[in-house]
Amino acid sequence: MTFIYLTLGCLLLVASSLLLRTANSASRWLSLVVFCIATACFIAVYGNIAGVFIAVPTALLIGLLTAFLLGKKTSKQ
């Protein structure tokens, strides 16, 4: 169960990061919502404090990797 929650949390963070990459207001809000759901997955595994402490750095790392791998979204994309 831990593995499933962690995988789901990470996938949601990837989705959140991709949504944030889309430069419009709606997708940014949606990104925040997806991030909150991902945080809930981490909280389910590690508890309240540790869950938040893990979700935030994981989101930062996934965001950084997304930026490195995909870069900024251009109009062609």
Residues interacting with other proteins, by CB under 8 A? Answer: 6, 20-21, 46-47, 49-50, 53-54, 56-58, 60-61, 63-64, 66-68, 70-73
Q: What letter would DSSP give residue 76?
A: T
Smaller CB distance to other proteins: residue 4 or 60? 60
Smaller CB distance to other proteins: residue 13 or 37? 13
CA distances to 4, 38, 76 from 13, rounded to whole Å, are: 14, 6, 24
Smaller CB distance to other proteins: residue 33 or 60? 60
CA neighbor of 35 nearest in space, from 57, 67, 66: 57
